[in-house]
Amino acid sequence: MHKKYITNFDTSKLPSEKVDTVIVGSGLAGLSVAKKLIELGQKPLVLAKKTIERTNSFLAQGGIAAAVSIYDDPDKHKEDTLKAGKGLSNVENVKVLVEEGLERVLELVSEGVPFDRKDEKLSLTKEGAHSLNRILHVKDKTGEYLTKHLHEKVKQTAYIQYGYFIEEFLVEDGKFYGVVVSNKKKKKVIYAKSLVIASGGYSPLFQRNTSAYFIGGDVISKAFRAGCELEDLEFIQFHPTALDLEGEPAFLFTEALRGEGAVLVDEEGNRFIDELKPRD
């Protein structure tokens, strides 16, 4: 945080609350952090602009990757991920992804998330850039099931406040100490010891995209103004396959379709690409 940053708000006349941790965003990232903090004895506050159904996580279809197969292992998953990253990936972060990510997925399995199965075994499919079938899925609504599952896990303990958006991050001498939030009718201050920003990306800045159209990167811009360092802003995710209808949002076709053998053809019916290439 920049030491010279000064908030524009006079917070002295606003109602206030105090919590240990503020989590901005109610998608899978935010809810996962809330779940872990609860396990550590905290009662975090999750701020959501809308309901959990209005997140990119909830809308995610295809599945979640983890090396759960007896033919797979985290090193193979790591190798595929680094290849897909074209040498730009942070190797340590990828290591965390494939190792701890596997632990989290197995945790979700043990907690009863109804991943699809065949003959009692987890049904795994393939997606772009993966050399093996390692995508667990729940029908074509994996994100919806996972988001609902984590929401159920945290809602009894965490404070979840819907309909609130960030007005300002409060910083003094380079240190975060709270947020000013609004629900369009009133503002309030939430004082906290720590902050987690899990508010999603900003691909809707582009006219054609496959993200939730109500996510616009405003939290990222306010965090930058408050002094947060931003990294890798050029990496914006666009889903590779979507239906292009004039005047309509880009309707996403689940990546699982290509993993199960669907092909892409041009207007003359000719296949023009390897459907399981990395997204770049």
Tokens found for residue 120: 């009692």
Sign of CA dihedral 162, 115, 104, 213: negative
Residues in CB range of 221: below 8 A, 6 or more apart = none
The count of other CB atoms within 10 Å of the CB of residue 135 is 20
Annotated catalytic residue 279: yes
Q: Which string of DSSP letters, residue by residue, matches 219-263?
A: HHHHHHHTT-----TT-----S-EE--TTS--EEPPTHHHHTT--
Pairwise CA distance, residues 153 & 140, whole Å: 22
DSSP secondary structure code for residue 253 in this structure: P
Q: Which of 117, 208, 271, 279 is catalytic?
A: 279
Q: Helix/strand/coil (H, E, C) string of 28-59? A: HHHHHHHHHHHHCCCCCEEEECCCCCCCHHHH
User: Tokens 């309909």 sit at which residue?
Assistant: 163
Residue 219: name the closest of 191, 238, 200, 195 by CA.
200
- Where does residue 184 fall: left (phi above 0), alpha (psi -120 to 50 degrees), or beta otherwise? left
**Which residues does residue 194 pair with via DSSP β-bridges, in sequence order?**
21
Sign of CA dihedral 275, 276, 277, 280: positive
Pairwise CA distance, residues 275 & 257, whole Å: 10
Residue 57: name the closest of 86, 84, 27, 34 by CA.
27
Q: Which residues are catalytic?
A: 279
